[in-house]
Chain A
Amino acid sequence: MTPSTAHPDRVEGWNRPPIIEPDGEGELLEVAMGPHHPSTHGVFRMDVALDGERVIRLKPVFGYLHRNHEKIAEGASYLASMPYTDRLDYFCSLTNNWSYALAVEKLVGQEVPERAEYLRVILAELTRIQNHASTIGFLTQEMGASGTPLMYAFREREKILDLFEQLTGSRMMCNYMRFGGCRVDMSAALLDEARKIVAGLPGFIDEFEALLSTNEILMARCQGIGKLKPELAINAGISGPMLRASGVDYDIRKVDHYGIYDRFKFRVPLGDHGDVYDRYMVRVLEMRESVTILEQALKDIPAGPIMDPKSKIRGFRPKPGEAYGRIEAPKGELGFYLISDGTPNPYRYRVRPPSLINLTVLEDMCLGESVADVVVIFGSVDIVLGEVDR
């Protein structure tokens, strides 16, 4: 696909400070990082065993935020699960909505009107940009940049969230997509506002890159840390920017062409080292590609209905069957697996959360690194605990 990111050499004239190497004598020091560690993005615990400063063992412990999402969904109607999907990955409620709507549409064989497809693409790409920007902000926060890049990211995210609020009524819990379309139409004024936001995004990404990409501290903390080999990434089922940073060209937007992604021209950025810096860089480049998708979508968006006239809100009973709908969420492959037995509730409702599955290689990435790097590696995975624990 695209040539890999311009990867600056390791910082010249600077060497990593020596760390206390394991001597193989005495007991291991066991540290529980979390569940209230400020770097764990919520309530997540890592039981780390240290010899010197090197990580010998790392055991992720999750479930502190378990909210019984799947079982609740099995007892609720299909529509009633839609607002709960907002609360999975609360940074990207619109992509969660889309994935769930896609699964149900597959289950009942519903068509989505063209304008609704365009709206979905526009909102999903805006979601991707604000997610990646804030992820990078949090990553730098974990490296000690106390707030500046995060605030820059949030300033831009605020504009996107304001747009979401004007359209869907809520900034984060959008609950916008419906089976067979979208809930409300985007007015011409809002589309113009979206165009204005998108026009300002390349400048923001340039500014963000000037702030960070060549920053020696960021390079020193990120390059060569937390390497993930492509073979391991594939075997562990990693997806999203983490997989692509390891050099595997796999983007569900390109593979599945779900929605109308085959109409847009965009590239898939790949990394070639698989370290934290590549994950950072892949996200920056993905934001740029999202901007090009947004420009195309906002140019071509047709007029028309936004809802399949055959779809109904109440009394929704799909025929018995099963379906798996997946999309390229900002964090990776987000899938919903549904089995219907002909009743108003799904018989089985399963979420394939990218955050949880991307976390499974955390130990492999952290082994042999120093304990200070664990925080950075963990931050580069980009997880939201609402989705990990569900």
Chain B
Amino acid sequence: MLGEGILKGMAETAKNFAGSFVSKERLTTVEYPEERIAPAENARVFPFLVYDTENWEAGLRCVACQICEKECPPKCIYIDKSKDKKPDYVGKQQFYPTRFDIDISVCMSCQICVEVCPFEAIKMDTQFELATDDRFGGLLLDREQLAKSNEYYHEIHPTEASEVDARLAEEKAKVVAKAKAAEVAATKAAADAATKTAAPASPTQAKPEGGQD
């Protein structure tokens, strides 16, 4: 019969139409600005820089190694390396970025910077409402705008952040243990040397842990 297929299709549509009044599952959209769906845990939008302590400038994990700048496919990261050094989370003296800009109008959210970063310093944000009427400055984020605390990182990617924290704690424990062992060995060697020949302490004595400045 001509029109049978159309009627069959209409029946299907009617089923969905009537069903949407009965079952909430059939409603697949939400009224966006009033109602929001929480972003997925793995969601990624643009990168941010993680800092550890209260002070964002002192606590930045970034050591300005410039690997992300080199590996970034659209080359949207700009880093200036510092002349002096400051201690990082294990107390080792490291460079830091005096400038760290990301042009998010160029960034394509591929998270390759996150993957190549050996210091867990750059992570992906889930903030997506970034529209601005400032065409040039508004989309070039500097390091102050990019710096977000580790607590914030825990908030948006809880599983990933705890994994990262565990890894960093392990590394730190390793470094501390190594330093302690070196210190013990050095003092022992010095003591040995002192008892044997009563000579001045050897120049290879372990340096004290960083953090003098």
Q: Which residue numbers of A lie inside 8 Å of B, CB to CB? A: 11-14, 76-77, 79-84, 86-87, 148, 152, 155, 158, 162, 165-170, 173, 175, 183-184, 207, 210-219, 313-314
B34 interfacial by beta-carbon distance below 8 Å: no
B9 near A168 (CB under 8 angstroms)? no
Total B residues in contact with A, Cβ cutoff 8 Å:
29
B108 near A13 (CB under 8 angstroms)? no
B40 near A162 (CB under 8 angstroms)? yes
Choose among A12, A83, A165, A170 the residue that contacts B2 (Cβ–Cβ < 8 A).
A12
Name the B residues within 8 Å of A216 (CB-CB): 2-6
Q: Which residue numbers of B lie inside 8 Å of A, CB to CB? A: 2-6, 8-9, 11-13, 16, 28, 40-44, 67, 71-73, 108-112, 115-116, 124
Residue in A13, A87, A158, A175 with the greatest tally of chain B CB atoms within 10 Å: A175
A218–B9 alpha-carbon span in the complex (Å): 11
Name the A residues within 8 Å of B112 (CB-CB): 79-80, 82-83, 175
| Chain B residue nearest to A165 in the complex (CB) | B40
B4 near A166 (CB under 8 angstroms)? no
Choose among A77, A167, A218 the residue that contacts B42 (Cβ–Cβ < 8 A).
A167
Name the A residues within 8 Å of B115 (CB-CB): 183, 313
For this complex, 15 residue pairs linking A to B, each with C-beta atoms less than 8 Å apart, are A82-B110, A82-B112, A83-B110, A152-B16, A155-B28, A158-B28, A165-B43, A167-B42, A169-B42, A173-B109, A212-B9, A215-B5, A217-B6, A314-B67, A314-B71
Name the A residues within 8 Å of B2 (CB-CB): 11-14, 216
A169 near B71 (CB under 8 angstroms)? no
The 3 closest A-B pairs by CB, nearest first: A83-B110, A214-B5, A80-B73
A166 near B41 (CB under 8 angstroms)? yes
A219 near B71 (CB under 8 angstroms)? no
Q: In the complex where A83-B108, A84-B73, A155-B28 touch, is A148 in contact with B8 (Cβ < 8 A)?
A: no
Query: Given A173-B109, A211-B8, A211-B9, 14 other A-B contacts at CB below 8 A?
Result: A76-B73, A81-B73, A83-B110, A158-B28, A166-B41, A169-B40, A169-B44, A169-B124, A170-B43, A214-B8, A215-B8, A216-B2, A313-B115, A314-B116
| Chain B residue nearest to A208 in the complex (CB) | B12
A148–B9 alpha-carbon span in the complex (Å): 10
In whole Å, how far is A145's beta carbon from the nearest beta carbon of chain B? Answer: 9
Name the B residues within 8 Å of A81 (CB-CB): 73
B42 near A165 (CB under 8 angstroms)? yes
Name the A residues within 8 Å of B16 (CB-CB): 152
B13 near A214 (CB under 8 angstroms)? no
Residue in B42, B44, B67, B71 with the greatest tally of chain A CB atoms within 10 Å: B42
